[in-house]
Amino acid sequence: MEFTDAYKQTGPCCFSPNARYIAAAVDYRLVIRDTRSFKVVQLFSCLDKISYIQWALDSEYVLCGLYKKPTIQVWSITQPEWTCKIDEGPAGIAYARWSPDSRHILTTSDFQLRLTVWSLLNTACVHVRWPKHPVKGVSFTRDGKFAAVCTRRDCKDYINLLSCDSWEIMGVFAVDTLDLADVEWSPDDSSIVVWDSLLEYKVLIYTPDGRCLLKYQAYESGLGVKSVSWSPCGQFLAIGSYDQMLRVVNRLTWKTFAEFLHLPNVRGSSCAVVFKEEDEQPQLDITGLRLSGDPYDNNLDFSERQIGVRYEVAELPITLPFQKPVMDKPNPKQGIGLMAWSSDSQYICTRDDTMAATLWIWDMQHLQLAAILLQKESIKAAVWNPTSCRLAFCTGSCHFYIWTPSGAYCASIPLPHFTIVDLKWNSDGTYLLLKDKESFCCAAVPILAESSDYSSDD
C-alpha cells in the first residue's frame, strides 16, 4: 500500500466528484491539489477562516463557507480570476449547499428565517420562508429535477417541492410529525421518507403529491429513530433506533422484513466471524536499531517506533465491551449512531453507541450477522468503497482498518504523530483520504487488497 506525504490542513478537505482534485482548507486559504501528482494546481485566498467546503457536482466550482463572517465565497478551477461572494447581511448564513446543476447555491439564514437560492448565471434569487433546519431538511432527487425542503409554520411541519429549473414551488403538503427531523428522496425518486425527532418513533413515506404510503412506528413511550438510510439499489430502507435495533423495510411491500438486535453477548450459534484488534509485538533485528519490516528511518530509537496491530479471530460466544448510557443527561450515548450501506446493497455496517468500539456488518442476502470487528478504541468513521465491497474505518489512532467479505486487515500510517480522525474514498475508489487534526495524506489501496490474510500492517 502506497502513501503520499502529509499535507497541512486546518479544516475540511475532500475529493472532487470527478476524483481529479482534492481541496483542503489551510486557515483562510483554499488549496487545490491534483490527485495524480498531489501538486498544488490552484491557491485561493478567502476573506476569513474556512469553516466548510463543498464541490459542485461537475467539479468546476468550490464553495467555501466562512461562517464566522458570515459569507460564502465560490471559486472556479478552470477560471481562477472568476470570483463570487454571497452575503446575506443581517440575516446571516448558517449553511450553504450546491444544487444538482452546479450553477445554483442554497443558503439557510440564521434562526431559519429563510432559505435562499442564488444563481451563478444571473443576479436572481428565490426565497423559501421558514426552513425547518439549517443543515438538514433539504433533499434532491437523483435526476436533479426537484428538491424537497422541510419548513415549519404555525407549529406544523410541511414539505415544499421545488423545481430545480425555475425554483418555483410546485407543491406543499403537511406531514404527520410532531418535530420533523429530516427528509430524503428514495433512490428512484418515486417517494420521500421523513422521520420524527428522537422523542417520537415515527417514520413516514410520502409520494411527491403528498399521499402517505407508510406510517411506521415500532414502539411507543421511548426514544425513537436515530438514523435512516436508503440502500443504493432503492429496495430497502434501514432504520436505526435508540432501542439498539436495526430494522429494514422492503420498499415493494412497505413491510419490515429484517430486525437486527445489537447485544453485548454474542452467542456461539452465530455465523459471524469476530475480528479482535490486538497489539503486535515488535521484534528487533540483529542491529538492534530497527523493527523487522519497519519502513521508517533506521536512526529512530526503539521507543519512538509505532507498535503494530493485527486482527485475531476470536471464538464465540463472546461478550463485547459495553458502556451503560447515562440517562439523566441529554443525548445519551445509545442507539444506532453510525449506519452505512455497501455500494451493492448487500451489506450494511452499524455501530451501537453503547458499544462504540464495535462495528457490526450485516449480510442482507442471507439476513444474518456477517462479521464483528472489535477495536481497542471507539470507531470514529466508517465508509464503503464506492466501486467495490470494501469497508474502511478509523478509531483515532495511527492505524486504519479494512474489511471485505474475504477478511479484514489493519494498516499503519508511515508518518510520525499522525492519528486518523476521519477518512473518505474518492469517487472511483482508488484513493483513501486519511485526515489528521492538522494534516492529511492519501493511501492508494490496491484492487487486490481483498485478501483472506487477517494480519496487520500493509
Helices then strands (H, E): number in the chain? Answer: 0, 41
Q: What pLDDT does 300 receive? A: 38
Q: Which three cell numbers stand for residue 99?
A: 444544487
Q: What pLDDT does 297 receive? A: 37
**C-alpha separations of 136 from 122, 131, 143 in Å:** 27, 10, 20
- From 23-27, 89-93, 271-275, 295-299, the region with the lowest mean pLDDT: 295-299
Over 90: is that where the pLDDT of 124 sits?
A: no
**C-alpha separations of 414 from 14, 186, 289, 425 in Å:** 21, 41, 17, 19
Picking from 371, 380, 391, the residue whose alpha carbon sits closest to that of residue 318 is 371
Pair 213, 194: CB distance under 8 Å: no
pLDDT digit string, tens, across residues 389-424:
999 999 999 999 999 999 999 999 999 999 999 999
Once rounded to an integer, what is the mean pLDDT over residues 337-348?
97
Q: What pLDDT does 445 receive? A: 85
Once rounded to an integer, what is the mean pLDDT over residues 250-271?
92
Does domain 1-87 fall under CATH 2.60.120.310? My reply is no
Bridge partners of 61? 76
Once rounded to an integer, what is the mean pLDDT over residues 210-221?
95
Q: What pLDDT does 282 receive? A: 60
Q: What pLDDT does 299 receive? A: 38
Q: What pLDDT does 303 receive? A: 37
Over 70: is that where the pLDDT of 452 sits?
A: no
Confidence tier at 328 by pLDDT (50, 70, 90): confident
In the chain, the percentage of residues whose pLDDT exceeds 70 is: 92
The pTM is what?
A: 0.90
Place of cell 493511501: 443
Pair 179, 200: CB distance under 8 Å: yes
Q: What pLDDT does 16 receive? A: 98
pLDDT digit string, tens, across residues 63-87:
999 988 899 999 999 999 999 999 9
Q: What pLDDT does 306 receive? A: 59
- Render the burial of 182-220: b for 16+ CB within 10 Å, e for the rest: bbbbbbebebbbbbbbbebbbbbbbebeeeeebebebee
Confidence tier at 123 by pLDDT (50, 70, 90): confident
Where are the domains positioned within the chain? 1-87
Confidence tier at 456 by pLDDT (50, 70, 90): very low
247 φ, ψ (degrees, to nearest 5): -115, 140
In the chain, the percentage of residues whose pLDDT exceeds 90 is: 83
Who has greater pLDDT, 114 or 221? 114
Once rounded to an integer, what is the mean pLDDT over residues 121-147?
94
Pair 125, 145: CB distance under 8 Å: no
User: Which parts of 117-226 fold into alpha helices (H)?
Assistant: none
Give the count of beta carbons closer than 10 Å to the beta carbon of residue 307.
12
pLDDT digit string, tens, across residues 155-207:
999 999 999 999 999 999 999 999 999 999 999 999 999 999 999 999 999 99
What mean pLDDT is reported for the chain?
Answer: 90
